[in-house]
Chain A
Amino acid sequence: MERYWKVLRLFWSTAIAAELEYRLNFLVTALISLGGLAGSLFGLFLFYRTGYEFEGWSWEAALLVLGLFTVLQGFSAMVLIPNLNKIVNQVQQGTLDFVLLKPISSQFWLSTRIISPWGLPDLIFGLVMIGYGGSRLGLGWADYGLAVLPLALGAITLYSLWFMLGATSIWFVKIYNVTEVLRGLLEAGRFPIAAYPVAYRVFFTFVTTVPAQTMLGQGGRGWLLASTLLALVLLVVANRFWRFALRFYTSASS
């Protein structure tokens, strides 16, 4: 376990050092995520403009969901997307061999090799939005604290789905655009689940709506339990799926 911590520290310090070579990038990504934020607010405003309201979600509550979505978007830009691109590269060029030879879990290596600081602006803006919505609704620190667990569960769910998508590159090889599919999956979390027709609700309840409900003190224990179960099951499935996929890995150019 300790070895993993040490490796993780090394991975991340080298990755950040490498990324900080491009400091101007930070300004660019900050501008882009600010623009994205303005756009999402505009999108939400289009719904609330005429007095329509997502069932049971006031404007401020919907802002909470949007903020949580932005936080998760930042998380995926920091960890998920850069690592995923790496997996695809390694399968295509056959360098996955070297990863498999290392005496640590290959899933760990592939999921944590890179951290990119460019997701930070999204993370910060998301937190600001949650803070704004929360203060309008009079939420206290305890409420925010309660939401941390479901948010982490949402992140785990997302990670597992993402890793399984990445593992399919063993068969399909060139799938850089899986990141786009992932983004699409996440995109639905912009809005509270109540805004969707029933048929849509199955897929994306857990990621952002459950944390927001917990924050608002509406979510029952049932939801929390369900999202815990989902996250755990998906995590195990992702691991199994990866091992299964590796059986089909034939390396390239050797």
Chain B
Amino acid sequence: MQKAIKVARVMLSVYYAYMVEYRAELVFWVLSGTFPLILMGLWVEAAQGDQFDLSPTDLVRYFLAVFLVRQFTVVWVIWEFEREVVEGRLSPYLLQPVDPAWRHFFSHVSERFARLPFAFLLVGLFLLLYPYAAWWPRLDNLLLGLLAIALAFCLRFLMQYTFALAAFWTERASALEQFWFLLYTFLSGMVAPLSLFPDAVREVVLWTPFPYLIYFPASLLINRPENVGRGFAAMILWSALFWGLNRWLWRRGLRQYSGMGA
């Protein structure tokens, strides 16, 4: 246990240093997450006429929350893993007594800390533009929301890492992720809060993992929680499913792995 904590601490600090080395890249990452802010503009304009269930203020809050959740749940493990497998750089990591998954996981986690200041800067800027929308989540919602964000990150990481394992069999594993990302973009609530979806669509979407990655934590943060128990249960179930699949593929994949270029 003590060893695990030590390993985690070392990895966190190493990857933090690595992330901070290329700060410009970080700024660009934060900027590239502005998609929800663009949609905020659209929806706020649309909601002026009271034709939708949500008021403009609600929508500003919602999309700011989406922006924040997005910032903390960005995952790119598939691109790194794909390169490691294709170029054979995975081999040395296999010799180490730590599963390579943890290396990726901690590199993502430490990047969150490096990104924090920029993300808050942008949120601050937006609250200056929309001062009337400033709000404070209730303490219990805030805590649950943070927990939901952490779980959402884990789930998204697990899903992407599972797809990444396809790299053992094909050179274009990232195509899987690209497709998945489309579903994620349009069904997770990034384009619009789920409450604005047609009822039939919403019912179907709630069975997929996507809304729990963005809509669920974001709605907790803006004090409009819906079915909290069901949300957490769904996240844990989907995580368990992908965890199982992931471990199975990992074992099969290692047998397949030929260590190209090594």
Interface residues of A (CB under 8 A from B): 22, 24-25, 28, 31-32, 35-36, 39, 42-43, 46-47, 49-52, 54, 168, 171-178, 180-181, 183-184, 187-188, 191, 195-197, 199-200
Contacts and interface: CB of A to CB of B under 8 A. Distances in A.
Contact of B28 (A36, A177, A199): A177
Given A175-B24, A184-B34, A184-B35, 9 more contacts: A35-B179, A50-B52, A54-B46, A174-B24, A174-B25, A187-B35, A188-B38, A197-B44, A199-B41
A199 B32 CA distance: 19
Contacts of B186: 39, 42-43
Given A46-B191, A184-B34, A191 B42 contact: yes
Contacts of B172: 22, 24-25, 28
Interface string B193-205: 0001110000000
Contacts of B179: 31-32, 35
19 contacts: A24-B172, A35-B179, A35-B183, A39-B186, A39-B191, A47-B42, A50-B52, A54-B46, A174-B22, A175-B24, A175-B25, A177-B28, A177-B32, A181-B31, A184-B34, A187-B38, A195-B45, A195-B46, A199-B129
A180 B32 contact: yes
A174 B20 CA distance: 12
Nearest to B47: A52
Nearest to B182: A35
B41 A173 contact: no
A164 to B, nearest CB: 13
Contact of A28 (B24, B29, B175): B175
Contacts of B227: none
A33 B122 CA distance: 31
Contacts of A188: 38
Contacts of B182: 32, 35-36, 39
Interface string B235-259: 0000000000000000000000000
B51 interface: yes
A195 B28 contact: no
Given A172-B24, A181-B28, A49 B49 contact: no
B178 interface: yes
A122 to B, nearest CB: 13
Contacts of A36: 182
Contact of A32 (B24, B33, B52, B178): B178
Nearest to A204: B38
B41 A197 contact: yes
Contacts of B31: 181, 184
Contacts of B175: 25, 28, 32
B25 A46 contact: no
B145 to A, nearest CB: 24
B213 to A, nearest CB: 16
A38 to B, nearest CB: 8
Given A35-B179, A50-B51, A187-B35, A43 B191 contact: yes
A197 B197 contact: no
A25 B174 CA distance: 11
B28 A180 contact: yes
Interface string B67-91: 0000000000000000000000000
